[in-house]
Amino acid sequence: MPLVTSEKMLTDAREGGYAVGAFNVENMEMVKAVIAAAEEVKAPVMLQTTPSTVKYGTLETYFAMVSAEAKKASVPVCLHLDHGSSFELAVQAIKAGYTSVMIDGSHEDFEHNVELTKKVVDVAKACGIPVEAELGKVGGKEDDLEAEEDGNTDPQEAKEFVDRTGVSSLAIAIGTAHGFYAGTPVLDKERVSEVKELVSVPLVLHGASGLSDEDVKECVRRGMCKVNFATELRVAYTEAGKKLLQEKPETFDPKKLGIAGMEAVKELVKERMCVCGCNGKA
């Protein structure tokens, strides 16, 4: 089917008590793997690209790949700009055909975050495109943005932010980090429940790679409606290629490496979809 926006799938997830899996893709093979996984477990799915991925392949290229694969799928597929770094990039993504965008002003102070987010929302809503924003500081590194310390989201600020910006969904900080964790993460899961009580839009969990299944499930039970996975997909794809070359060092056909990577990513995505509870929800 044609690409869809994230709005209905996230609203359905909020009402149904599950989360939609959102998976960062870097190349054609990962696009095919994620959509194939969604088909197999009958799940709605979001595919995401960050600014560095867009720089590597262009917005138009990723749109062409994802939309072509989505047309062959029977499940809803959304193409999302993850961690949009500027107003200009968000607008470019909408023009290129993306069906959901994130503007990340979390590195700004509260007022500037509101101003930047509202500016994107005004343009996106006129085009029928939902907008995700981030409030609080998610630790770790995403592209060139790095947070030294976590600054968990204040529930009252979250309410004010949503009311003033009109965002469609909100990523909140509860102690997660981008990339893998150096130690065992300590999550403020109660904060998810507190924010959910005050805001009317679906909540988003960033930095899920490396979290235990039970941590993800509890966050979903408390109100997370979208869960992002990136680093562990990259690792699965790369490790599959390494394994093939160790076992068959004579391999020279890139397609063989791609097939190995696709299979590894597909199986991982299926597992994560079941953890999020979105399997069978398409």
- Model confidence over 178-226: pLDDT tens digits? 665 555 677 899 999 999 999 999 999 998 888 899 999 999 999 999 9
Domain assignment present for residue 259? The answer is no
Position 94 pLDDT exceeds 90:
yes
Give the model's confidence band at 146: pLDDT under 50 very low, under 70 low, under 90 confident, else very high: very low
Give the model's confidence band at 276: pLDDT under 50 very low, under 70 low, under 90 confident, else very high: very high
Nearest to 74 by CA among 42, 119, 122, 120: 42
pTM for the model stands at 0.92
| DSSP E strands, the chain | 20-24, 45-49, 77-84, 100-103, 131-135, 139-142, 145-147, 169-172, 177-178, 203-205, 224-229
Domain range enclosing 127 = 6-231+265-276
Which CATH number covers residue 12?
3.20.20.70
Distance CA 30, CA 19 (A): 21
| Predicted local distance difference test score (pLDDT) of residue 145 | 46
Domain assignment present for residue 171? The answer is yes
Catalytic residue status for 82: yes
Position 149 pLDDT exceeds 60:
no
Strands of the sheet containing 177-178, edge to edge, are: 145-147, 139-142, 177-178
Position 281 pLDDT exceeds 50:
yes
Give the model's confidence band at 271: pLDDT under 50 very low, under 70 low, under 90 confident, else very high: very high
Catalytic one of 82, 150, 154, 215:
82
Beta bridge partners of 103: 84, 133
Q: Determine the residue type at 27.
A: N
Give the model's confidence band at 143: pLDDT under 50 very low, under 70 low, under 90 confident, else very high: low
Nearest to 86 by CA among 62, 66, 109, 103: 103
The per-residue pLDDT for range 31-83, each reduced to its tens digit, is 999 999 999 999 999 999 999 999 999 999 999 999 999 999 999 999 999 99
Other beta carbons within 10 Å of 156: 11
Domain assignment present for residue 260? The answer is no
Give the model's confidence band at 148: pLDDT under 50 very low, under 70 low, under 90 confident, else very high: very low
DSSP summary character for residue 251: -
Report CA torsion sign: 112, 114, 118, 124. Answer: positive
| Predicted local distance difference test score (pLDDT) of residue 210 | 81
Q: 112 near 124, Cβ under 8 Å?
A: no
Distance CA 9, CA 273 (A): 14
| Predicted local distance difference test score (pLDDT) of residue 183 | 58
Domain assignment present for residue 252? The answer is no
Strand, helix or coil for residue 144? coil
Query: Once rounded to an integer, what is the mean pLDDT over residues 253-274?
Result: 98
Domain assignment present for residue 245? The answer is no
Give the model's confidence band at 151: pLDDT under 50 very low, under 70 low, under 90 confident, else very high: confident
| Predicted local distance difference test score (pLDDT) of residue 138 | 64
Domain assignment present for residue 154? The answer is yes
DSSP summary character for residue 201: S
Distance CA 216, CA 62 (A): 28
Domain assignment present for residue 30? The answer is yes
Q: 195 near 225, Cβ under 8 Å?
A: no
Q: Total structural domains in the chain?
A: 1
Domain assignment present for residue 101? The answer is yes
Q: What mean pLDDT is reported for the chain?
A: 93
